[in-house]
Each structure stands twice: as C-alpha cells, then as structure tokens.
Amino acid sequence: MKELLRVGCAAGFSGDRTDAAAPVVEALVASGGPAVLIFETLAERTLALAQLARRADPDAGYEPLLDDLLRPVLARCLAAGISIVSNFGAANPVGAARRIHALAHELGLRAPRIAVVEGDDLSGATQRPLLDAALGGAADGLSMVSANAYLGAEAIAAALLDGAEIVVCGRVADPSLTVGPALAHFGWARDDWDRIARATMAGHLLECGAQVSGGYYADPGIKDVPGLARLGYPIAEIDSDGHCTITKPAGSGGRIDAHTVKEQLLYEVHDPLAYLTPDVTADIGAAEVTELGPDRVRLSGVRGHPRPDGLKVNVCHETGWLAEGEISYAGARAEARARLAAEVLRERLQGLGPLRADLIGVTSVFGDDAGRQLAAQPPGDTRDVRLRIALNHAERRSAERLVREVTALYTCGPAGGGGVRTALRPRLGTLSCTVPRDQVPARHRFVPEERP
C-alpha cells in the first residue's frame, strides 16, 4: 500500500485570495509525504472572458492573477517536490506555461518541467460540425465566443507520470485536478470506479477552496465560524483506497467539521446517486462523514459506476449588450423617490425590452426582470435606497440609451438623487451539450517542447 497523498487547494475560483497558498504549502511540507498543490480558477463565464482577452492579446487568456498566486510558493514547491496542478491555463495554457517559466527565471529558480493539457478547446472551425450536431437547431446563427469540453483526469495523470512538476490545464472538470494526481500516485486502473469515485468526491470537497473550511457556511448566530478573516484552505489526505480526510493548516481560521463537509459534499450535486463527471459516475448515497478530531473529517462509503459515454461541453456566445445604471436616494421619502425614478425610466425606455429595476435593500435579490416583485412589494419608508436599472439589448446603441437616461436623473428628477454609476458591457449566454468522448482526445505536452 502506498503512503497517503496529500492534496491542498489554494483557490476556488478566479479572483480568490492570493495569500492562501503559503500556509497550505507549509502544511504539506511539514507532513513530509507526497503532496500536490491545486488551484481551481475556472468557471463557465471565466473561460469565455479569457477567450475574449486572448482575441485582444494573443499572449493573454490565462488566469490574470497567475503571478500573484504562484510567486509566494513556487520556490518552496519546487524545492520540496510538491507538484502543482491547476486549470489556470484557461483559454491559453501554453501562454500560462511560458509565463511560469519567466516567473521562475525572475525568481532565480531553475526551469521547472511544465506540461500543458490540451484538447478541451472546441471553438475552432474543424470542431464546428461536432458542435452543430450536438446542439441541433440551437447552433443556428450563434456568435460563438468559446466552446470547451470538460476533460477528465487521465491526461493530468499521464503528465505527472511523465515527470511534470507543474501541470497547466484549460477546461478540466474541477474534481479531476485531484483525481489526476491520485491516479498517478496510486496507479489505479482506469476502471476502478469505487476508488476513482472516492478521489472525485475528495476533489469535490476541495474544489471550492475555503467553502469547506467554513467560508460559505458562515451565518452569524446560527453557524458561527471563528477566524473568518484568516480562513485556512483545505487539504485532503487520500489513502490507497481513495478515502479521504479533510483538514486545514494548523492555527488557521475557519472550521472543518461534519456540518461544513456535508454542505460542501452536496454543493452543486444534481443527483447524489449519480454525480456525473468525465472520470466516473459517483454515488454518495451510502457515504459516511466522520469527525476524527478538531478540523479533521473523514469521508468514506462513496461508490462508483462507469463514467458517462459523452463529455459535457459549454458553448458561450454573444447575446447583446448589458446596460446598467445606479443612483441613490436618501432621507425622507427616499423609497418613494426611487420608485418614481424607476417609473420614469420605464416610460422613457418603453419598447426597448424588459427593464429590470431593483431597490437595493428593499427588493433586489428576490426581484424579477418583469418588475412584478417590485410592484407587489408595498411601498415603505426606507430612508436609504440604491436604485439599480438594467437592460439587455442586441444593439449597443439602444443599450446606451439606458446609460444616458440614468445619468439624466441628476437634474430631471426625482429630487435628491446622487452617486450615479453606469456600465455597458457585452453579455454572454451559455448553451450546454454532450459530445462523444472519442471525438475529444486529450493529450499533454511539455512547454517548451523537449527534444530527445
């Protein structure tokens, strides 16, 4: 039986804290055993925005915070033999790999062996027939920004077995960042569904960073979390059967207990008996969560079934322009003035399409684009109100009208409005489909290319 593999996660999305990695790395070093550091930085919209950034600059398109994430820990990881696996390659894994090489040089480090995983990007002309077949009529007239398949763990494992110290991915399934190192370390068969499913759920617990450490769990007076400002990011100790124990760096803030683990275990799981991933269909129907001690929780009892025949693909496409405007009203009759401003804007922008009006602090989260919720909410006497107005339109010129009309409220009334802020940006839509697995070959290669 091989010794435990420890996998620490230092990011749960693009824009996460950049000081999380150092305590995780120190905890991994202190453990003295095989260890991997992962950064999960992708979401559906994140990848589309990365593709747009690459259109503007061919050298861009990877995680914007790459330097900030890696600079504090790169030297320590290379010296301690801690592998780094991440999807921060986004739309440009090769560009990310080159930037990491440059960063290592700037830090006076030796050149690391960096592998990139490719095959997820289906936005090229040669893949369009594949997408058209999968989307059917929904593909007609689509102005596509990105199309990416959710790859699994096999290419990550192959890269690590080939000697990669850093593996840079684009779109892989979030749990696969953990499954890949486990496959490489333990040498499991690719159809060892139970073990792969257990590693998948270990990756699922890690993938959102500090959520499992109490971040997304915290609710004052109901679910209190100590040290929320200095949350410790999670570490999974995975054994040779795939079972895991979730913990965090000693002395860090947050909490890991049966409650936080159960919440994260069920997070975004559509069917607990059949959680579909590219690597396996995981079944947590008989899973057991056991507290072993302070900030140490073991997950066991996960079962696995054969992986799906197809791979999920997200297609992001242009859907017009989103125009937004905000203005504040305060003091006596503030809410009434904000409601009147919304009525004025609805009248002046009539015919452009649905106009969403939110009274932040009164009706916003539970609002709706048709304005029904706002109309149903009895007028109150809130004395501090922020009005938000939003419009989506296919044409930029029409969307710009909202921006001008909100600004005009300064002098056109109602009285006392101030603090106007407006924004206009392209809006993206997402379509999902599945494609045959054998039509999306994943592969890895080293950057720079290694010669015999």
Partner residues linked to 278 by β-bridges: none
Task: Provide the pLDDT for residue 87.
Answer: 97
How far is residue 284's CA from residue 49's CA, in Å, rounded to a whole number?
A: 34
> Residue 213 carries which side chain, given as an amino acid letter?
S
Each residue's pLDDT tens digit, 184-206:
999 999 999 999 999 999 999 99
Of 2-16, 253-267, 369-383, least confident by mean pLDDT is: 369-383
pTM: 0.92
CA 391 to chain centre: 26
pLDDT confidence band for 64 (50 / 70 / 90):
very high
Per-residue pLDDT tens digits for 192-249: 999 999 999 999 999 999 999 999 999 999 999 999 999 999 999 999 999 999 999 9
Across the chain, mean pLDDT equals 93
What does the alpha-carbon distance between residue 133 and residue 122 come to, in Å, rounded to a whole number? 13
Confidence label for 139 from pLDDT (cuts 50, 70 and 90): confident
Task: Check residue 44 and give its pLDDT.
Answer: 80
Q: Is the pLDDT of residue 428 over 80?
A: yes
Residue 366 pLDDT exceeds 60:
no
Using a pLDDT cut of 90, give the percent of the chain over it.
Answer: 86
Half-sphere exposure of 245 (CA within 13 A, CB side): 16
- Kindly state the DSSP code that residue 13 receives in the 8-state scheme: S
CA dihedral 217, 223, 226, 232 (to 10 degrees): -20
d(CA 146, CA 316): 5
pLDDT of residue 361: 75
Map tokens 């739309």 to a residue: 91
pLDDT on residue 383: 81
Confidence at residue 217, expressed as pLDDT on a 0 to 100 scale: 94
pLDDT at 376 over 60: no
Spatial contact of 388 and 325, defined as CB atoms under 8 Å apart: yes
What pLDDT was estimated at residue 422? 97
* pLDDT of 19 strictly over 60: yes
Q: What element of type H or E holds 247?
A: strand 244-247
The average pLDDT across 61-68 equals 97
pLDDT higher at 364 or 66 = 66
In the chain, what are the domain boundaries?
A: 5-124+148-308, 315-432
Residue 183 confidence (pLDDT) above 90: yes
> Residues 378-420: pLDDT tens digits?
566 778 899 999 999 999 999 999 999 999 999 999 999 999 9
* Tens-place pLDDT, residues 72-129: 999 999 999 999 999 999 999 999 999 999 999 999 999 999 999 999 999 988 998 9
User: 365 pLDDT exceeds 50?
Assistant: no
**pLDDT given at position 369:** 60
Q: Distance (Å, rounded) from C-alpha 182 to C-alpha 191?
A: 14
| Class of domain 315-432 as given by CATH | alpha beta
Task: Specify the pLDDT at position 141.
Answer: 80
Three-state DSSP class for 398? helix
Residue 428 CB neighbours (<10 A): 19
- H or E element in which residue 186 lies: helix 176-186
- pLDDT at residue 450 in the model: 60
Is residue 371 predicted with pLDDT exceeding 70?
Answer: no
